[in-house]
Structure 1
Amino acid sequence: MEGVKEVSGDNDEKIFNAPGKQKSKVWTVFGFYKKEGKLDRSRAVCKLCRASLTYTGSTTNLDQHARRRHGQEYIGETRTNEQERTASSSTQPVISNMFAQLGQNSARAKEITASITRFIAKGLCPYNIVEWEGFQDLIHTLEPRYKIPSRNHITNTCMPALYTQVKSQVEKELANAERVAITSDAWTSCATESYVTITAHHITPDWTLNVHVLQTRAFKGSHTGKNIGALLKQACIDWKLFDKEPALVTDNASNMVLAGVEAEMSPHLMCFAHTINLATQKAFKVDTVERLLGRVRRVVGFFHRSVRAAEILQDKQKQLALPIHKLIQDVSTRWNSSHDMLERLLEQQPAISAALMSRDLRRGEEVNTLKDKDFCDVVDIVKLMAPVKLVTTSMCEDKRPTLSMICPVRAKLKKNFEASDEDSAVIREMKQAFRNDLEKRYTGLDDLFYTATALDPRFKSLPFLTDHDAERTFTSITAEATSLHNKVNLPTHCYPLSVLNLFTPWMFLKPKCLLG
């Protein structure tokens, strides 16, 4: 071919690909050698036979060589590379679309935004979590196309929309409820701001106990019974609950008692767990016990304040094969924390004594004021209060009504706190203080308690009552069942009225009878 010099190469020198800007198909089988570190573009080298051809910028002679010498091998190689380039170019729009930002009004973006809003609401997270680097990294990893909304958008748009949606659902459920029980409590935040929370309990047609927090509002005024009662009344108006004859459950504070009267809610019941706490606090206020708790707090506080003492205690626990547990500091307003403190003291007594006697603790002897008799009293107190702790845990049940448990539990506690000849002076005083405080609670509510207990299959025999009181309770329930039967005009087989059939599980369980 004129103007073309073809030279056959027989060396093993490496052939380098043509630069990327070379688009001709011939470069799939042609390349260049390097001279002094640079491509020698004066001659193109065939990768199939290593023939060296003069290259002046035109690829005609290269194409002719490949077709004449290599035929199908050259054509097949060219077609394969063209297919790869075509496939690569066709996937570019797809990849681009995969990582294109989601529109704010797209279904996927709305779904993610709604999920983030629910996450903040259910977790009580701060709104500015959407600005946290870690949270943004998490969302970007899960959905790179999604743009996280601003804090202001969450605050002013998303959260109010979620509140409106949930409120509508709660209103529908409450509208279908026959009776509603309201609970309320006032509390103070870490920022010393006062709030009042109101919740509602009701039983659904399929016998499920539902609980809703109706509102948590800042309370600016004085915490008088009149002010709290007005707040409760307004909440019932806002949620359309007055026609459901709401019952009220609060703690035993005098302002809450007056609030129930002001709100015109009946019956008004006091939280049994809070009642037990008050009675137990009276028992712990006995002079001997209070002084003992003071000495125990002194020991526990020493190990909490001193890093060195805590390290030595842990070493002693390992040496004595005791559980590696920290000592518990009680909270004065929660009796069960005092019980836990004493229980942990007994568990760690050998390690505590060994640690306080260590030469590395200079103040050990000053702190260690507990005597053998003190530990004997601690054992008795823990044993006495163990049933009370079990009752407190049981009464914190939030999945089913607990009003039916008050009478049998109260009767059991009274029996447990009866004086015995084997009691020490300390235990005798504690029992007397506990019983005196417990007996003055819930006056005038016996009939309601007896009815609720009789309707609970676990306690329907009323073993804690005299035969006369039990018979009177059964007669009252039968009369009410008959009244309900006549009122709704149902067939007799739907409401069996014999006393034996009356107490089959939950036969007549109505919110009116069981408000706990």
Structure 2
Amino acid sequence: MMSDHSEPIFNAPSTLRSKVWKTFGFFKKEGKLDKSEAVCKICRAAIKYTGSTTNLSTHISRRHASDVELDASTASTSSSTSSTITQFLTQSQLSYNSARAKSITMRVARFIAMDLRPYSVVENDGFRELLRELEPRYKIPSRQHFSETCIPELYKKTKTDLKAKLSSAERVAITTDAWTSRATDSYITITVHYVNLDWELASYVLQTRVFNESHTGKNIGALLKEACLEWNIEDKDPALVTDNARNMVVAGVEAEMSPHLFCFAHTLNLAAQKALHVTTATKVLGKVRRVVGFFHRNIAGAELLRQKQQQMALPSHKLINDVTTRWNSSHDMLERFLEQQSAVFATLMSRELRKGEDVSALTEGDLSNAEDMVKVMAPVKVITTVMCEDEQPTISLIAPFKAKLKNHFEATTEDTGLIKDMKKVFLEDFVKRYTNIEDLLCTASALDPRFKTLPFLSDRETERIFLSITDEATNLHDKKVEESHPSPSDIQEPDQRDPTSVQSSPVQVHEEPRGDCPPCKKRKSTALDQLFGETYVVRPSRSSREKVSEEILRYRERNLLPLNGNPLEWWRAQVDLPLLSDIAKRYLCIPATSVASERVFSTAGDIVSSQRSVLRGDHADQLIFLKKNLKKLEHK
């Protein structure tokens, strides 16, 4: 505590011989030295004095070390005291069961899960040194404690929280896909998607399990059934989204999941791959691939290309090499090559570059074909990008996108021979997809306020779709009413109940007229009845179908949502369309792609890495589950 600057400080008595008294003194109180507090002559800080100078010497060493030189004995005393404190803190370790130790251990477990750290991180010298600095009293448990106790406990708690979330879902959709780890173990990932009570699209990873059985449709179907039972979603009318593989087709049938939607991104990839395998297109891709490969292998060529880019004021972009299984990578390769063609050709023609192979064999015709290929496939790339976003309920986009692509790939008189061939091959493969679920896709689009006019259908087909929505919404409402108000036949009579529930003593029952309630007395006629009884008749309550029809009429009369709007946010605001909202929520929860499952592969690759290739399957499942779900569940 700082003292009043106007009050004088008096020297300590000569009997106090320590050198600290050259720096400290006392105030006077009622004419006498007040020895309860020593006062620093430099900063006028008042420090409690009980006969020991340890506190005073500590103050000098911390605050005025550069101004005052302590005697050896005082410095030794201060150093000894500091050493004693450090030793005390180090030796009095926290108990494993203490709240502080449990909290630190749990934070380390969360660090392992959320940052994809190997369990061995707790044995690393640098990590242990960090913990010692932060909390010397804490002794970190073994890696086995984290792998066998902490992470499983965190997984169990998070799994319980997710089950509670899923219990409120009216309908769910699941996606699934398979992948192989570095240790050649086969895994199958399952994700779940639903629209929550706040009209937000929620997506979670349910499980990533080792699946060393044969990947037949029957086996995968059985796995999907088991997953639904484990997560208590078998009564949520789960929809299924997979790729187009034959075993997945059979799996959907075996799992008895409907609708079974095939990944739209995968469908586009199949059709685009076939279009790019047209003979002329294959030759163009081969020539471009050879040039790109040369610059990837030749360090001098890559450096010279960078210099040419600077001289020509072109973006300093590297050339892209494609992956044969991803059509859009071939599109990206052509697009980047055309962007950099002037720098590429200038580099290849440079005398400074010694070429051991002929890589400049592209003709003007090849470049023209490359430009046409990029142009004709551009809408497919845009649609692929949009369909891979998680934020939007993408099933409602499939029908409009299908119509757009069918129109785009219709041959015209201006098309070159190459483009005509590519369009023909693309359409032949594309139009045969989704033929059995056209109504499902159109219904989803009709329930999306951006596309509710269904401009790609005739007026007759549009009315048929909305009539189908009326039927489905009516049936759904009647089913909910029936479940919430069971019929009298569903209620057991007293003589049908368990005998043990009957009262032991007989009860006298008086004869009463049977019925749901006692007979009511006839209501007396009033003056208003006599005046208006024949004119004003109480109308019977509207049927469910009438209510749904009125909601659909109001829905169709409202303005379209802009294309960049969020349909779920729009539906959240439509409080006067409760019956139609229920059916919209059932459709807009279904993703159009299985990208959610495929994205787990990259996370899994970070977990089942070369350093952890022997990680047990159940540990990998727990870590992937926590990485993908922990923060989501805590923030919702």
- Give secondary structure in 1 for the equivalent of 2:436: coil
Question: Counterparts in 2 of 1:138-287, with a 5 A limit?
Answer: 138-287=130-279
Report 1:356-395 matches (<5 A): 356-363=348-355, 366-395=358-387
In the alignment of these two chains, the number of paired residues is 455
Q: How much has 1:398 moved relative to structure 2?
A: 1.2
Q: CA deviation at 1:97?
A: 6.8
Instruction: Work out which of the residue numbers 566, 570, 586 in structure 2 matches 1:512.
Output: 586
**Residue 500 (structure 1) aligned to one of 524, 545, 553:** 553
Instruction: Kindly provide the CA deviation profile for residues 427-451 of structure 1, in whole angstroms up to 9, marking residues without a partner as x.
Output: 1111111111110101210111111
Rounded Cα–Cα distance in structure 2 between residues aligned with 1:413 and 1:127 = 49
1:473 aligned residue (458, 465, 468): 465
Query: What's the TM-score, normalizing by structure 1?
Result: 0.80
Output the CA distance in 2 between the equivalents of 1:487 and 1:227.
33
Alpha carbons of 1:76 and 1:217: their partners in 2 closer, same or farther (altered >3 Å)?
closer
Name the CA distance, whole Å, in 2 between partners of 1:330 and 1:479. Answer: 49
Alignment-derived partner of residue 85 in structure 1: 54
* CA-CA distance at 1:115 after TM superposition: 2.3
Which of 322, 326, 346 lines up with 1:330 in the alignment?
Answer: 322
Larger radius of gyration: 1
Contact 2:180/2:187 (8 A) holds in 1: yes
Between the aligned partners of 1:415 and 1:139, the Cα distance in structure 2 is 63
Alignment of 1:78-157 (within 5 A): 84-86=53-55, 88=58, 101-157=93-149
Q: Partner residue of 1:433? A: 425
Which TM-score applies when normalising by structure 2? Answer: 0.66
Task: Find the counterpart in structure 1 of residue 631 from structure 2.
Answer: none
The separation in 1 between residues aligned to 2:184 and 2:169, in whole angstroms, is 36
Letter in 1 for 2:312: L
Deviates more, 1:451-460 or 1:124-133: 124-133
Structure 1 residue identity aligned to 2:224: L
Tell me how far 1:247 sits from its aligned partner: 1.0
Contact conserved, 1:28 with 1:81, CA < 8 A, in 2? no
Determine helix, strand or coil for the equivalent of 2:586: coil
Q: Determine the C-alpha separation between the residues in 2 that align with 1:86 and 1:124.
A: 48
Identify if the C-alpha distance between structure 1 residues 132 and 312 changes in structure 2 by more than 3 Å, giving closer, same or farther: farther
Q: Kindly report the root-mean-square deviation, in angstroms, between the aligned alpha carbons of the 2 structures.
A: 3.2
Distance 1:481 1:77 in 2: 84
Does 1:407 find its partner at 2:481?
no
Sequence identity of aligned pairs in percent? 55
1:130-167, Cα deviation, whole Å (9 max, x unpaired): 23344444444554544333222211111111111111
Does the CA-based 8 Å contact 2:319-2:333 persist in structure 1? yes
Alpha-carbon distance change, 148 to 341 in structure 1, aligned in 2, over 3 angstroms: farther
SS in structure 1 of the partner of residue 204 of structure 2 = strand
Gaps (5+ residues) in structure 1? 1-23, 31-46, 49-70
Indicate if the aligned counterparts of 1:225 and 1:262 stay in contact, CA closer than 8 A.
Answer: yes
Q: How far apart in 1 are the matches of 2:304 and 2:106?
A: 52
User: Could you tell me whether the CA contact under 8 Å between 1:330 and 1:338 is conserved in 2?
Assistant: yes
Deviation at 1:240, TM superposition (A): 2.3
Instruction: Name which of structure 1's ranges 499-508 and 319-328 shifts more when overlaid on structure 2.
Output: 499-508
CA contact (8 A) 1:248 1:269 kept: yes
Q: Check whether the contact 1:179–1:244 (CA below 8 A) recurs between aligned residues.
A: yes
Pair 327,226 (structure 1): closer, same or farther in 2 beyond 3 Å: same
- Equivalent residue for 2:534? none
Aligned-partner Cα distance in 2 for 1:287–1:138: 61
* 502-511 vs 402-411, greater mean Cα deviation: 502-511
Distance 1:322-1:76 versus aligned 2 partners, 3 A rule: closer
Q: Distance in 1 between matches of 2:420 and 2:20?
A: 104
Q: Is the 1:309–1:361 Cα contact (8 Å) retained in structure 2?
A: yes
- Whether the 8 Å CA contact 1:102–1:146 is kept in 2: the answer is yes
SS in structure 2 at match of 1:460: coil
Kindly indicate whether the alpha-carbon contact (under 8 Å) linking 2:473 and 2:548 is maintained by their aligned counterparts in 1.
no
Change (3 A) 1:145 1:425: farther
Structure 1 distance, partners of 2:93, 2:263, is: 54
Distance 1:303 1:76, change over 3 A: closer
Structure 2: stretches of 5+ with no match in the other structure:
1-14, 24-31, 41-47, 59-76, 485-540, 559-569, 572-576, 592-636
Decide whether the 8 Å contact of 2:89 with 2:136 is kept in 1: no
SS at match of 1:256: helix
* Of 322, 325, 332, the match for 1:340: 332
Deviations 1:423-482 (A, max 9, x none): 111111111111111101012101111111111000000000011110001111123333
Higher RCO (CA-CA < 8 Å; seq separation 6+): 2
Once the two structures are superposed, what CA deviation does each residue of 1:110-146 show, in whole Å capped at 9, x if it has no partner? 2232222223223333222223344444444554544
8 A contact 2:187–2:208 mirrored in 1: yes
| Inter-partner Cα distance in structure 2 for 1:431 and 1:361 | 40
In structure 2, how many angstroms separate the alpha carbons of the residues matched to 1:139 and 1:493? 68
The answer for the alignment partner of 1:28 in structure 2 is: 19
Provide the rounded CA distance (Å) in 1 between the counterparts of 2:267 and 2:420: 21
Q: Is the 8 A contact 1:496 1:502 kept in 2?
A: no
Paired amino acid for 2:270: L
Amino acid at match of 2:214: S
Pair 1:493–1:343, CA change in 2 (3 A): farther
Instruction: Tell me which moved more, 409-418 or 493-502.
Output: 493-502
1:166 aligns to what SS in structure 2? helix
Match of 2:292 among 293, 297, 300: 300
* 8 A Cα contact 1:482 1:497, kept in partner: no
**1:404–1:452 CA contact under 8 A, matched in 2:** yes
Task: Name the aligned partner's letter for residue 218 of structure 2.
Answer: K
Tell me the distance in 2 between the aligned counterparts of 1:369 and 1:192: 41
Letter in 2 for 1:437: D
In structure 2, the residue corresponding to 1:183 is in which secondary structure? strand
Paired with 1:174 and 1:29, the residues of 2 have a C-alpha distance of 70
Corresponding position of 1:16: none
Q: 1:366 to 1:115 in 2, by over 3 A?
A: same
Cα shift readout 1:246-266 (whole Å, capped 9, x = no counterpart):
111000111111111111111
* Counterpart code for 2:212: K
Distance across 2 between alignment mates of 1:313 and 1:250 = 43
Q: Is the Cα–Cα contact under 8 Å of residues 470 and 548 in structure 2 kept in the other structure?
A: no
Checking the alignment, whether the CA contact within 8 Å between 1:28 and 1:77 is kept in structure 2 is: no
Per-residue deviation, 1:226? 1.6
**Shift, 1:289, TM fit:** 0.7
Q: For the residues of structure 1 that align with 2:437 and 2:39, how far apart are their CA atoms?
A: 96
Do the aligned residues in 1 keep the contact of 2:217 with 2:247 (CA within 8 Å)? yes
